[in-house]
Amino acid sequence: MVAVIEAIEVDIIRGHLLPSVWLIEDHLMEDYDAKRHVVRAALSELGRLGVVVKQPHRGARVRRFEAESLARLHHFRNILHVSAVDAFALPVAPERLDRLRLAAAEHAEAVDSGDLIRIHRANMVFHRRFYGLCDNPYISESIRLHDWISFPARAYGMSDETSLRVAKEEHHAMVEAVAAQDRALLRDLACRHTVNARNLYEHKFLFKGDRVR
């Protein structure tokens, strides 16, 4: 099941599976050389995470965001991110800062490798360690949940060189801001960090007149 989930994620990142496209079980079985029960389990898990939307008697589709829903999602994610930053107990313990530095370095190495799943997973690990500094499991779990829900909108940045470079730079800046105990900068970086992927999704999939700022 994990292999099929990762294959679907990669195809979303590469733009092979576009927003709202139907995920046909027979096609997925052939494309990923998987049995039907494995494909169904993968779709069920991606549905639980919010990456795909399952419709009764019709099947599953890659989640699509219209301009309004995308704006609302990013507004709420920013609320969560700033709430987490405001709860950071600064200074953080040296071992936690070291783990955050390591996560940023592993993400940078993943970017250099070009391995899309490795990039995706390393990015999630960095976010989990960074926002986990709030020590509030309700906030950090909500952030993790909305990281997955937003994946279909964030995905295209993982194969875009400019977006990857920006993500690496922002991760480094976030680590250094934690080290400097600069909460105002951390708030700014937490909000700024979602902008590039959103802009890329809007450019690719939303009509100019349909965008909501």
Fold: same for 2-62 and 67-210:
no
Say which amino acid occupies 38.
Answer: V
Apex CA 157: angle with CA 155 and CA 159, to 5°? Answer: 90
Hey, is 151 helix, strand or coil? helix
Cα–Cα distance measured from residue 141 to residue 131, given in angstroms and rounded to the nearest whole number: 9
Q: CB atoms < 10 A from the CB of 84, how many?
A: 23
Cα–Cα distance measured from residue 42 to residue 5, given in angstroms and rounded to the nearest whole number: 5
In angstroms, how far apart are the furthest CA atoms of the chain? 54
- Residue spans per domain, the chain: 2-62, 67-210
Contacts of 142 (CB under 8 A, 6+ apart): 80
Tell me which residue has tokens 């007149």: 209
Q: CB atoms < 10 A from the CB of 18, how many?
A: 15
Return the DSSP state at 114. Answer: T
Return the DSSP state at 33. Answer: T
Tell me which residue has tokens 């993943």: 110
Q: What end-to-end distance do the CA atoms of the chain give, in Å?
A: 38
Cα–Cα distance measured from residue 132 to residue 175, given in angstroms and rounded to the nearest whole number: 13
Specify whether the CB–CB gap between 101 and 175 falls below 8 A. yes
* 1.20.120.530, 3.30.360.10, 1.10.510.10, 1.20.272.10: CATH of 67-210: 1.20.120.530
- What pLDDT was estimated at residue 207? 57
What pLDDT tens digit does each residue of the chain (213 aa) get?
999 999 999 999 999 999 999 999 999 999 999 999 999 999 999 999 999 998 887 889 999 999 999 999 999 999 999 999 999 999 999 999 999 999 999 999 999 999 999 999 999 999 999 999 999 999 999 999 999 999 999 998 898 999 999 999 999 999 999 999 999 999 999 999 999 999 999 988 885 544 443
- What pLDDT was estimated at residue 212? 40
- What pLDDT was estimated at residue 57? 77
The answer to whether the predicted template modeling score (pTM) of the entire model surpasses 0.75 is yes
- In CATH, the architecture of 2-62 is Orthogonal Bundle (1.10)
- What pLDDT was estimated at residue 130? 98
Q: Which two tokens stand for residue 135?
A: 């020590």
Q: CB atoms < 10 A from the CB of 160, how many?
A: 17
